A and B are shown apart, each in its own frame.
Chain A
Amino acid sequence: MATKELSMGDVVSRSAEYEQEMDTEKMTLNMGPSHPSTHGVLRLVLELDGEVVTKCDPELGYLHRGDEKIAENMTYNQFVPYTDRLDYLSPLANNVAFALAVEKLAGLEVPARCQAIRVLICEMARISAHLLGLGAYAMDTGALTVFMYTFTEREKLYTLFEKLTGARLTTSFTRVGGVARDLPEAWLEEVLHFIAQFLPVVDEVDALLTRNRIFVDRTKDVGVISGEDAISYGLTGPNLRASGVPLDLRKDRPYSGYEQYDFDVPIGTVGDCYDRYLIRMEEIRQSARIIQQVVETIPEGLYYAEDAKKIFPPSKEKVMSSMEELIQSFMITTQGPQMPAGEVYFEAENPKGALGFFIHSKGGGVPYRLKIRGPSFCNLSILPKVCVGAMLSDVVAILGSLDFVMGECDR
């Protein structure tokens, strides 16, 4: 029997014919809320035409814990622990953002040392968040090793956090008007030491991923977000910068003394998953640079605002020895730091994007309304747009590259 050799072109044209004949019925696929690639409790209802996504409807709220309502019922300092649990990959940065928002309401300036400490911990938090993001992303796209590398480094960071705050993850380190305590002895040297041994590891991770054929194939030109779309959907942070919009609040609206430090803001060109990955990689290095500068230049002085009567409790010795300070400490503890009436909105550049707090105060120690603008919430809102037209397996890559945390998304 004579067999005809099938050439590649034949197969392609055949399948195209075949597809035309095929009656393609759409299928609905439910992904989550417990799915390894949704990084928590996000649920996606996908409508598929074969392998191609035709509609994507994200369903949130599985981690809605009522943070904003809780905030209306407690004093400003009592709310600090809840900010840890917004973006639980970078609790320290959330603490700082919240403290800065409330201080803005109070019209309070903290001393230079306190500002430097805050910058330092923010950048350490950024490194730790991006490390987890990278590890998890590599795992999503099929590279397991990177996760182990980045977690080893995260554990070292956790050890440093623990020395500083007493907790690995839920740090609750800032107070309105300062931070909880001064830096422990010799801690800064340890930070420098960490950075010195950490940078080679970043290069190693870089070598494992950046030119890894499989990784590049899975991420390049996948999930492209244009700059206009990114702005329109309110994206911030690395996701926005990957699309070529050079917006970084640390540069454009500097807070807490960021203007003193020298660092670059990486900007993407294409806006695909690979760009978003590259941006995070580079941000880790830039953060390390900032940390080194802070450690070199950290000023002496107080770690809290001294003149912040009614806001920052006086030191223990004073409380024990003077009546006025005792009363003051008691009032701050029971009634909270006393704020003027007013409205403020403050955003800080967090690892995931701009974490904003809108506070409406009617005076006193409890906010009347506190709105948290979670960057992940806005970053995710573009999903229905980018997922359409992508293959099902690309959805995993896109989700991972957006690097979201449900804690701050659902609040």
Chain B
Amino acid sequence: MSHSDKEITYDSKVEGGVVTSRLDSIINWVRSNSIWPMPMGLACCGIELMAVGASRFDISRFGAEVMRFSPRQSDCMIVAGTVTYKMASAVRRIYDQMAEPKWVIAMGACASTGGMYRSYATMQGVDRILPVDVYVSGCPPRPEALLDALIKLQKKIGTERSAKQLVSA
């Protein structure tokens, strides 16, 4: 058993059946390797999001294949597509319904900045209504780029002070 930042290490000769680690690392390790995404497929990027989940790119290699359309069951919202003002309220409401801890990936130019749709109807970036953790560039981003974003998010989760947050919450 090992983790990229070597916070959890295990040597059976020395320790037998015991693992020592910081609580933070364990929580983060668990959290970051079983992210349940909420696929917020709004437009064209949603198709690439489907491709990430399907056979070739296979998001389950990163422990995030359990796409849940119910916000209550998911912890990472992937906003894939153009957020219009009309849709913005719905996106925010869904975000509000997600249980803590939660993260957001803004997938594609539209979700990040409004992209090529500079018009009266389009919200210029979903970060106006939600806190975004990782932005992915591209119109649409390649599936690899989304996987990269997922890895970045996992790294980010790895640095969180989870135990403290749990106690204070």
* Residues from chain A with Cβ under 8 Å of B43 in the complex: 40-41, 63, 65, 85, 88, 406-407
Closest CB-CB distance, A86 to chain B, in whole Å?
10
Pairwise interchain contact B40-A34, C-beta atoms closer than 8 A: yes
A70 to B55 Cα, complex, angstroms? 36
Q: Does A45 contact B (CB under 8 A)?
A: no
Q: Does A147 contact B (CB under 8 A)?
A: yes
Q: Does A148 contact B (CB under 8 A)?
A: yes
B77-134 CB contacts (< 8 Å) to partner A: 81-82, 84, 86-87, 90-91, 94, 116-122
Pairwise interchain contact B116-A40, C-beta atoms closer than 8 A: no
A136-157 CB contacts (< 8 Å) to partner B: 147-148, 151-152, 154-155
Q: Does A82 contact B (CB under 8 A)?
A: yes
Pairwise interchain contact A132-B47, C-beta atoms closer than 8 A: yes
A401 to B51 Cα, complex, angstroms? 21
Pairwise interchain contact B47-A66, C-beta atoms closer than 8 A: no
B13-56 CB contacts (< 8 Å) to partner A: 40-44, 46-48, 50-51, 54-56
A63 to B83 Cα, complex, angstroms? 7
Q: Does B142 contact A (CB under 8 A)?
A: yes
* Best-buried of B44, B94, B116, B140 by chain A (most CB within 10 Å): B44
* Residues from chain A with Cβ under 8 Å of B48 in the complex: 168-169
A60-112 CB contacts (< 8 Å) to partner B: 61-66, 69-70, 81-82, 84-85, 88-89
Closest CB-CB distance, A347 to chain B, in whole Å?
22
Pairwise interchain contact B90-A35, C-beta atoms closer than 8 A: no
Chain A count of residues within 8 A CB distance of the other chain: 33
Q: Does B153 contact A (CB under 8 A)?
A: no
What residue of chain A has the Cβ atom nearest to residue B54's Cβ? A151
What residue of chain B has the Cβ atom nearest to residue A147's Cβ? B54
A88 to B121 Cα, complex, angstroms? 19
Q: Which of A41, A66, A89, A407 contacts B122 (CB 8 A)?
A: A66
Closest CB-CB distance, A90 to chain B, in whole Å?
11
Closest CB-CB distance, B168 to chain A, in whole Å?
31
Pairwise interchain contact A65-B44, C-beta atoms closer than 8 A: no
Contact with B along A148-190 (1 / 0, CB 8 A): 1001101100100000000011100000000000000000000
* Residues from chain A with Cβ under 8 Å of B62 in the complex: none
What residue of chain B has the Cβ atom nearest to residue A43's Cβ? B90
With A40-B43, A63-B43, A406-B43 known as contacts, the answer to whether A169 contacts B56 (CB < 8 A) is no
Pairwise interchain contact B117-A148, C-beta atoms closer than 8 A: no
A406 to B43 Cα, complex, angstroms? 8
Closest CB-CB distance, B163 to chain A, in whole Å?
33
Q: Does B8 contact A (CB under 8 A)?
A: no
* Residues from chain B with Cβ under 8 Å of A168 in the complex: 48, 140, 142
Pairwise interchain contact B55-A63, C-beta atoms closer than 8 A: no
Q: Does B139 contact A (CB under 8 A)?
A: yes
Q: Which of B41, B69, B94 contacts A40 (CB 8 A)?
A: B41
A267-299 CB contacts (< 8 Å) to partner B: none
A34 to B93 Cα, complex, angstroms? 11
Pairwise interchain contact B40-A63, C-beta atoms closer than 8 A: no
* Residues from chain B with Cβ under 8 Å of A58 in the complex: none
Contact with B along A394-411 (1 / 0, CB 8 A): 000000000000110000
Pairwise interchain contact B47-A88, C-beta atoms closer than 8 A: yes
A376-406 CB contacts (< 8 Å) to partner B: 406
What residue of chain B has the Cβ atom nearest to residue A86's Cβ? B44
Pairwise interchain contact A70-B90, C-beta atoms closer than 8 A: no
* Residues from chain A with Cβ under 8 Å of B56 in the complex: 151-152, 155
Q: Does A266 contact B (CB under 8 A)?
A: no
* Residues from chain A with Cβ under 8 Å of B51 in the complex: 151, 154-155, 158
* Residues from chain A with Cβ under 8 Å of B117 in the complex: 65-66, 70
* Residues from chain B with Cβ under 8 Å of A81 in the complex: 116
Closest CB-CB distance, A145 to chain B, in whole Å?
11
With A62-B90, A63-B84 known as contacts, the answer to whether A40 contacts B55 (CB < 8 A) is no
* Best-buried of B43, B46, B122 by chain A (most CB within 10 Å): B43
* Best-buried of A63, A155, A406 by chain B (most CB within 10 Å): A63
Q: Which of A66, A82, A88, A158 contacts B120 (CB 8 A)?
A: A66
A34 to B97 Cα, complex, angstroms? 13
* Residues from chain A with Cβ under 8 Å of B94 in the complex: 34
A227 to B75 Cα, complex, angstroms? 46
* Residues from chain A with Cβ under 8 Å of B90 in the complex: 33-34, 41, 62
Q: Which of B41, B50, B119, B140 contacts A70 (CB 8 A)?
A: B119
* Residues from chain A with Cβ under 8 Å of B116 in the complex: 81-82
Pairwise interchain contact B86-A170, C-beta atoms closer than 8 A: no
**Chain A: residues with CB nearer than 8 A to chain B?**
33-36, 40-41, 61-66, 69-70, 81-82, 84-85, 88-89, 132, 147-148, 151-152, 154-155, 158, 168-170, 406-407
A34-B69, A35-B69, A155-B55 given; 9 more Cβ-contact pairs under 8 Å: A40-B46, A63-B43, A63-B84, A65-B117, A147-B54, A148-B54, A151-B54, A151-B55, A158-B51
- 28 CB < 8 A contacts A-B: A33-B87, A34-B69, A35-B69, A41-B43, A41-B87, A61-B84, A62-B90, A63-B82, A63-B87, A64-B121, A65-B82, A65-B84, A65-B121, A65-B122, A66-B119, A81-B116, A85-B44, A88-B43, A88-B47, A132-B50, A151-B50, A152-B54, A152-B55, A155-B54, A155-B55, A169-B44, A169-B48, A407-B44
Q: 4 closest A-B pairs (Cβ-Cβ)?
A: A66-B119, A151-B54, A88-B44, A62-B87
